[in-house]
């Protein structure tokens, strides 16, 4: 158990809908990362937060947004969903977000857009 909690584990929804994925980092970790894993694709970095502030941004679509709250949990909002958004979404956390800090991954949310 990595100590990172993601909910829900599975989500099935329809095109055009909006969903929210939630992540609670390990106790003491200030940095949260969101990744997307699609079939035949490597882990695609979406966005990183550090202590409530956005630190780095990857190939996150404009339809997607995220935030980190004062209690350090984070939410990833996906709107106007398309079939291609079906993927496994991982959250990871690290202590300070430094380049040589190990990431601890949650178990992921499997999103299916029908």
**Interface with another protein (CB under 8 A):** 2, 41-45, 48, 55-58, 90, 92, 99-108
Nearest to 25 by CA among 12, 8, 6, 7: 6
Residue whose CB is less far from another protein, 46 or 81: 46
Residue whose CB is less far from another protein, 34 or 78: 34
Residue whose CB is less far from another protein, 85 or 97: 97
Q: How many CB atoms lie within 10 A of CB 42?
A: 9
Tell me the closest approach of the beta carbon of residue 15 to another protein, in angstroms: 27
Tell me the closest approach of the beta carbon of residue 22 to another protein, in angstroms: 16
Residue whose CB is less far from another protein, 6 or 78: 6
Contacts 24+ apart (CB under 8 A), 36-41: 36/87, 36/88, 36/89, 36/90, 37/87, 37/88, 37/89, 37/90, 37/108, 38/84, 38/86, 38/87, 38/88
């Amino acid at each position: 158990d990595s100590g990172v909690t993601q909910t829900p584990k599975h989500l099935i929804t329809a095109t055009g809908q909006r969903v929210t994925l939630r992540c609670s980092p390990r106790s003491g970790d200030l940095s949260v990362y969101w990744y997307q894993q699609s079939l035949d694709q490597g882990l695609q970095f979406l966005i990183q937060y550090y202590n409530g502030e956005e630190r780095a941004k990857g190939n996150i679509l404009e339809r997607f947004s995220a935030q980190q709250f004062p209690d350090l949990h984070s939410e990833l909002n996906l709107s106007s969903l398309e079939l291609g958004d079906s993927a496994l979404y991982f959250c990871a956390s690290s202590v300070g977000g430094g380049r040589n800090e190990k990431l601890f991954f949650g178990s992921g949310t499997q999103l299916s857009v029908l």
